[in-house]
Amino acid sequence: MKRRTFLLGTAAVAGGLALGYRVWSAGFDAQAAALAGTGTGAGALLAGWVKIGADDVVTVYVPHADMGQGTHTALAMMLADELDADWARVRTERAPADKAFANRFLAQGWVLQGWQLPSFLTSTVGAGFAEAARFINLQITGGSTAVRFTGQGLRVVGAAARSMLAEAAARRWQVDAKTLSVASSVVSHPPSGRSARFGELAADAATLTAPSDPQLKARRDHKLIGRSLPRLDVPAKVTGEMQYGIDLSLPDMLHAAVRSAPVHGGKLVAIDVAPALKFDGVERVVKLESSVAVVAKSFWQARRALDALHPVFDDGGNGGASTRTHFDQQARMLADGKASSVHRSGDAEAMLKAAPADRIVEATYRVPFLHHAAMEPINATAQFKKGELIVWAGEQDALGSKAALAASLGLAADKVTLHALPIGGAFGRRIAQTSQHLALVAEIAKVVSPRPVKMIWTREEDFAQGAYRPAVSTYIRAALGADGRPTAWSQVYVDLAGPGRREGYQIPYDIPAQSLNVVAGKTHVRTGTWRSVAHSQHAFYTECFMDELAAAAGRDPFEYRRDLLPTGSRLRKVLELAAEKAEWAKPLAPGAARGLALVESFGTIVAHVIEASLGADGSPQVHRVTAAVDCGDVCHPDNATAQVEGAIIMGLSAAIGEQITIEQGEVVQKNFPDYPLLTFANAPPRIDVHFLASDGPWGGLGEPGLPPVAPALANAMFAISGKRQRILPLTAAA
């Protein structure tokens, strides 16, 4: 168990024991109801997360951002299925950035990881997780946690609300609740023929105590889960009704264009503001520690005036840094042997020393910085008025961002309001730890108070000021036995996340002796989470090296992996399904080949088989991708398929051509022409996604489809050319 998991779990249990058998404290219950706008005729909040109106409209409060991933629909389905609500009357709203809506389901799921609590502990520990979530401001969107953790919690909420509605009807009619039936938002008493709509019972039901451990439906009894229902968010996106941060307009609003130090960590040294003040519409120039902002009546006026300025920034001592110096430093770190162990089984080093030299395989891999490259550039709007700050922004971590803003400005938490908006792409970019843009717009808002100001980053600023996927590397050695099977695996890898976030990525194959070690690297470049986080690099390392071992052993890559996995295991079944559906043994046309990779991440197992050839310039041309997925249950098949397909496209784009490079301390890439994303013309014409029926726990889906992509493609390139490419992106390596 990871240390952070143990500490959070201990805090949760301790908190629950101190609070007694309470799942929702009265104070936060009242706050949640107030924020949900309940009252006479406005509906009632049941079990803390679902509001039922007098008109029978069921509103599900979702503590996750809408970034296009479809989780609002999936989570509403999971709750509504257990509630037995009429789907035509189900709506969703983003939960307010308030501790009353801190995501205790995420805290509980993160710690327990599918472990079932004894029933007598459910309410006690549930209360503790609620308090722990409030304490750490937990309301994050990331880690493929929405369906697998929050969704399971909302199923409980739905079942609890159903029980409360039935109990309210039973008391009204003075009958046994067990004699009632619930369907399509109606509670019925068949013996007497009486019935009542949810809207008629909601107010009475809200006065009852929510059961902490209600009975959930068996899979066979699901009416909504498992169906591809129309997504709730699509109509507003198609019509343009959905408003993103960049669309926001407020009365008397100003606009800001910003330029920050091009070398991360640099400071503003000098600037002549006079040229900007000559432009029409410009209100003022705001000088900050590391940035300069022009504030005007329109964004284009602000941007034109900003282009007329020539601010002088220092480089924070990092002007000599480059991509080359970055990886040279990592090579030295990998070679000096000073690493911390993250996983050990057997004595890999001793076995490597004892193995004949011709049975040793070794390789060094590296991956570049990657930009999130979202379609909607960074933007946020803020208003500082009468000592209070209001922010409108699309953030993955609304409650955490609100807490960070309060801390940075020295304000009490109740003096900061954050209105969380939909996001036009994020992929990990808009997490509180890397949302420096919020503090920036807040500082500008203080200067122009009391008028609101919307800050939009140009695409060039968005590229220059990213929080990139770390550029890291690894060195691996393995020993092969006489039968070609690996007997020892020793690996040291660089992690830029710092000591508090070192994670071991265990090898899933049967290798008796394993030694995984980490060295903490450093960089002045701002880094952050990127889709699938560190699994994107570790999958590349591990699955490419497994192909190298298969080649050294003279074995077929699929058969080699299969024989190192337990018969009947979920991992082996997924690998076999992918090979079967991709027709692994079927010959291809000359010049084409297949590569495969198998990865477990975020509770889901995914195997990809990629069919590819080489273009005239040596770059990969992908013809077909076959994916096999075991994520336990599937809530919304169409959306689940779309998530895997989207991850495959993003993974291919990154593997083939994306990279952020550094020269003289600055990011070289300025805009999309310098950062080639995969286009429709180069996307694979065929992607097949197959879900494996499984009784495993619910897994994530937003991210697990990405990690196997790069190694599967790199392995296909080796099968075609006989040359091993150990550096991403593959086009640059070619």
Instruction: Answer yes or no: do 390 and 487 share one domain.
Output: no
State the pTM of this model. 0.94
Residue 95: strand pairing partners: none
Same domain, 514 and 382: no
What pLDDT does 404 receive?
95
Are residues 553 and 699 located together in one domain of the fold? yes
Residues 219 and 293 in one domain: no
Same-domain pairing of 602 and 642: yes
Residue 420 has pLDDT above 90, yes or no: yes
Q: 463-485 b/e with 16+ CB inside 10 Å = b?
A: bbbbbbbbbbbbbbbbbbeeeeb
Residue 513 and residue 430 share a domain = no
**What is the reported pLDDT for 26?**
60
Within-domain flag for 461 = no
Residue after which a domain boundary falls, among 408, 436, 456: 456
Are 287 and 210 found together in one domain? no
Q: How many alpha carbons fall within 13 Å on the CB side of residue 253?
A: 18
Query: Closest by alpha carbon to 546, among 628, 504, 486?
Result: 486
The reply to whether 485 and 402 lie within a common domain is no
Is 60 exceeded by the pLDDT of residue 8? no
Q: What is the pLDDT of residues 457-515, one digit of tens each?
A: 999 999 999 999 999 999 999 999 999 999 999 999 999 975 444 455 779 999 999 99
pLDDT at 347: 97
pLDDT of residue 671: 97
CA pair distance 151, 148, nearest whole angstrom: 6
Number of structural domains the chain divides into: 3
Arithmetic mean of pLDDT, 303-327:
98
Same domain, 340 and 365: yes
Same domain, 300 and 331: no
What integer is the mean pLDDT of 228-247?
Answer: 96
Q: Is the pLDDT of residue 41 over 80?
A: no
Residues 515-558: pLDDT tens digits?
999 999 999 999 999 999 999 999 999 999 999 999 999 999 99
Residue 17, pLDDT above cutoff 70: no
Shortest CA distance to 76 belongs to which of 225, 211, 199, 183? 225
- pLDDT for 109 equals 85
Distance from the Cα of residue 94 to its chain's centroid: 17
Write down which residue in 456, 486, 504 finishes a domain.
456
- The answer to whether residue 11 scores a pLDDT higher than 80 is no
Q: Which of 395, 394, 404, 413 shows the shortest CA–CA distance to 439? A: 404
Report the percentage of the chain scoring pLDDT > 90.
86
C-alpha 146 chain-centroid distance: 9
Answer whether residue 236 is part of any domain: no
Query: Would the pLDDT of 28 be above 50?
Result: yes
Strand order from edge to edge, sheet including 486-495: 340-345, 513-520, 486-495, 472-480, 360-367
**Whether residue 191 is found in the same domain as residue 273:** no
Q: What is the pLDDT of residues 78-124, one digit of tens each?
A: 999 999 999 999 999 999 999 999 999 998 887 766 555 444 344 54
Check residue 21 and give its pLDDT: 29
Examine residue 238 and state whether it is found in any structural domain, yes or no: no
For residue 486, tell me if it sits in a domain: yes
d(C-alpha 682, C-alpha 677), whole Å: 10
What percentage of residues in the chain have a pLDDT greater than 70? 93
Q: In what helix (H) or strand (E) does residue 691 lie, and over which residues does it extend?
A: strand 686-691
Q: Number of helices (H) and strands (E) in the chain: give both, helices first.
A: 21, 27
Contacts of 542 (CB under 8 A, 6+ apart): 505, 507, 599, 711
* Within a domain: 160: yes
Q: Half-sphere exposure of residue 260, counting CA atoms within 13 Å on the CB side?
A: 25
Any domain includes 681: yes
- Which CATH number do you get for residue 491? 3.30.365.10
CA distance 140 to 44: 26
* DSSP class of 227: S
Of 38-42, 380-384, 414-418, 710-714, least confident by mean pLDDT is 38-42
Count CB atoms within 10 A of the CB of residue 193: 7
The whole domain housing 420 covers 245-314+378-456
Task: Report pLDDT digits (tens) over 180-225.
Answer: 999 999 999 999 999 999 999 999 999 999 998 899 999 999 999 9
Region 417-429: what's the mean pLDDT? 96
Query: Could you tell me if residue 237 is inside a domain?
Result: no
Assess whether pLDDT exceeds 60 at residue 160.
Answer: yes
Which of 401, 434, 456 represents a domain boundary (last residue)? 456
Summarised one tens digit per residue, pLDDT across range 633-661 is: 999 999 999 999 999 999 999 999 999 99
pLDDT of residue 504: 55
Determine, yes or no, domain membership for 723: yes
Asked if residue 704 and residue 611 are part of one domain, the reply reads yes
Residue pointed to by tokens 């924020």: 35
pLDDT value at 617 more than 90: no
24-28, 588-592, 723-727: range with lowest mean pLDDT: 24-28
